[in-house]
């Protein structure tokens, strides 16, 4: 691909050259590629078709997982989160040792590989929250929970400049990747002051289906606020709010 220079930036196709805009700037490339019919039938492209099928499956799996925690993601995701999650889903699918290549899937893969995934690379939970917490996924009861003992916010939360308050947020979600459905529950603390006074103990119990046979996930994050004249405003539009998958239970 080539970088477009000059004052006038083009979009569209002229002859065999396609002009388009990306996050990396205005680019241009020559039209080309392999005929779609040949790609779909030629044995030489069998591996390409298999990879494409699994990539598509990873994309759908990432989408349903994101949808299951959409409320939390509204203010805690970086611009490349979708592609990063898709790549992580591909690793989950490739860990499927049962299905043949091209038919590998999340259910028979290793969903646990998603544990630790950070949705906002600008501000990760691991580099923000230093208070110890207990995370639990109880399949029998369907309770997906997190417990944090009392802690001093200014010492245990690395907050961005301008922070006056924060919330601890969490979600427990049960995802059926085959049916593309989910059951989820969310929790959040009150808006707490970011200061030297200890918090009370925090306990979130997010209930999904008891005795579920589907993958279960626990997401935990922090939302930062600035108080101005008695009103709380999302700090920097939430761009530094961390959110991560802290626990995952496959099957």
Q: Does residue 43 have a pLDDT over 90?
A: no
Read off φ and ψ for residue 218, nearest 5 degrees. Answer: -120, 120
Q: How far apart are CA 230 and CA 134, in angstroms?
A: 33
Burial status of residue 226 (CB atoms within 10 A of its CB: 0-12, 13-18, 19 or more): middle
Q: How far apart are CA 57 and CA 214, in angstroms?
A: 17
pLDDT at residue 8, rounded to an integer = 61
Q: How far apart are CA 224 and CA 142, in angstroms?
A: 29
- Each residue's pLDDT tens digit, 148-198: 999 999 999 999 999 999 999 999 999 999 999 999 999 999 999 999 999
Q: Give the dihedral sign, CA 129/132/137/138.
A: negative
pLDDT at residue 4, rounded to an integer = 58
Instruction: Report the DSSP beta bridge partners of residue 157.
Output: 129
Q: Three-class SS of residue 141?
A: coil
Place of tokens 């259910």: 107
How do beta strands 12-14 and 181-188 pair? unpaired
Q: Three-class SS of residue 114?
A: helix
pLDDT band at 7 (very low <50, low <70, confident <90, very high): low
Q: How far apart are CA 45 and CA 218, in angstroms?
A: 39
Burial status of residue 72 (CB atoms within 10 A of its CB: 0-12, 13-18, 19 or more): buried
pLDDT at residue 39, rounded to an integer = 54
Read off φ and ψ for residue 196, nearest 5 degrees. Answer: -95, 10
Q: How far apart are CA 18 and CA 119, in angstroms?
A: 32
pLDDT at residue 190, rounded to an integer = 97
pLDDT band at 17 (very low <50, low <70, confident <90, very high): confident
- Each residue's pLDDT tens digit, 18-36: 777 777 777 676 665 566 6
Q: Does residue 1 have a pLDDT over 60?
A: no
């Amino acid at each position: 691909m080539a970088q477009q220079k000059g004052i006038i930036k083009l979009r569209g196709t002229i002859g065999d050259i396609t002009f388009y805009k990306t996050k990396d700037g205005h680019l241009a490339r020559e039209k080309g590629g392999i005929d779609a019919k040949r790609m779909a039938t030629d044995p030489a492209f069998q591996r390409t078709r298999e990879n494409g099928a699994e990539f598509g499956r990873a994309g759908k799996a990432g989408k349903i997982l994101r949808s299951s925690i959409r409320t939390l993601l509204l203010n805690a995701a970086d611009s490349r989160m979708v592609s990063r999650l898709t790549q992580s889903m591909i690793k989950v699918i490739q860990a499927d040792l049962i299905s043949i290549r091209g038919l590998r899937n999340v259910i028979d893969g290793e969903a646990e590989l998603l544990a630790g995934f950070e949705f906002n690379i600008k501000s990760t939970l691991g580099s923000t929250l230093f208070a110890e917490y207990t995370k639990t996924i109880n399949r029998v009861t369907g309770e997906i929970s997190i417990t944090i003992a009392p802690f001093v916010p200014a010492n245990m939360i690395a907050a961005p400049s301008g922070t006056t308050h924060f919330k601890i947020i969490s979600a427990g979600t049960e995802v059926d990747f085959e049916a593309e459905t989910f059951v989820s529950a969310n929790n959040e603390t009150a808006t707490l002051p970011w200061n030297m006074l200890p918090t009370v103990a925090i306990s979130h119990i997010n209930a999904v289906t008891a005795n579920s046979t589907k993958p279960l996930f626990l997401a935990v994050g922090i939302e930062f606020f600035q108080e101005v004249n008695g009103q709380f405003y999302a700090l920097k539009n939430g761009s530094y709010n961390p959110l991560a998958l802290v626990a995952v239970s496959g099957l």
